[in-house]
């Protein structure tokens, strides 16, 4: 009889601990879904490391709260290696707001993409875009150079502008970057 009571107490403890863990997970998920900040944007290509774009201006709505944030133009951002992607001409660039598996995915559409050359003039290139696995695939400019890009993405919760630096080099020069 003594052993049966001990097993019963352990089961109670296990049930209480399981319920607490489930409630903690639900609370964390709810707090995460109520976030008033837009998601981060990550860029990568087949042969480069993943970088994070810099938040620009945005308007973001979540439940009963709304935020509108204004920023300087992306050509004025201070870019580091964390925001600079080095690719080959016409190489595919992947835009995603999910870096690791536990990140929440926010579906988005590309509203506008502008890239500026070293003289801050808009370059003219056709962006070929494709959506796959909730990510956006675009082609890099075909001409070698350093570009500052401003990607405007439209989410269900609002519109967000992201800035990143793009270095387009020939394949033989990629090793130097």
Outline where DSSP puts E strands in the chain: 42-45, 51-52, 54-62, 65-69, 84-88, 92-96, 108-116, 129-132, 135-139, 145-155, 158-169
On the question of pLDDT at 32 being above 80, the answer is no
> What's the chain's average pLDDT?
84
On the question of pLDDT at 9 being above 50, the answer is yes
User: What confidence score (pLDDT) does residue 146 get?
Assistant: 96
- pLDDT tens digits, residue range 110-169? 999 999 999 999 998 888 889 988 899 999 999 999 999 999 999 999 999 999 999 999
Least confident of 5-9, 61-65, 89-93: 5-9
On the question of pLDDT at 21 being above 90, the answer is no
**pLDDT tier at 29 (50, 70, 90 boundaries)?**
low
Right CATH for 42-176 from 2.40.50.1070, 2.60.40.1220, 2.40.128.20, 2.40.110.10: 2.60.40.1220
Higher pLDDT, 154 or 11: 154
Spatial distance between the Cα atoms of 36 and 58, rounded to a whole number of angstroms = 11
Kindly calculate the radius of gyration of the chain based on its CA atoms and give it in whole angstroms: 22
Decide if 83 contacts 147 (C-beta within 8 A).
Answer: no
On the question of pLDDT at 63 being above 80, the answer is no
On the question of pLDDT at 2 being above 80, the answer is no
Higher pLDDT, 102 or 27: 102
User: What confidence score (pLDDT) does residue 79 get?
Assistant: 96
User: What confidence score (pLDDT) does residue 1 get?
Assistant: 47
- pLDDT tens digits, residue range 78-87? 999 999 999 9
CA atoms within 13 A on the CB side of 86: 15
């Amino acid at each position: 009889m003594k052993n049966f009571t001990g097993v019963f107490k352990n089961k109670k403890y296990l049930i209480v601990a399981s319920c607490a863990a489930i409630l903690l997970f639900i609370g964390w998920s709810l707090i995460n879904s109520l976030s008033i900040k837009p998601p981060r944007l990550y860029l990568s290509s087949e042969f480069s490391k993943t970088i994070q774009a810099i938040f620009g201006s945005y308007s973001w709505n979540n439940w009963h709260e709304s935020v509108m944030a204004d920023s300087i133009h992306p050509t004025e951002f201070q870019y580091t290696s964390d925001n600079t992607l080095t690719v080959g001409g016409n190489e595919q660039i992947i835009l995603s707001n999910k870096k690791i598996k536990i990140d929440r995915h926010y579906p988005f559409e590309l509203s506008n993409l502008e890239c500026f050359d070293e003289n801050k003039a808009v370059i003219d290139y056709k962006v070929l875009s494709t959506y796959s696995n909730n990510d956006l695939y675009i082609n890099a400019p075909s001409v070698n150079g350093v570009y500052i890009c401003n990607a405007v993405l439209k989410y269900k919760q609002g519109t967000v502008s992201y800035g990143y630096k793009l270095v387009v080099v020939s394949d033989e020069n990629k090793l130097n970057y």
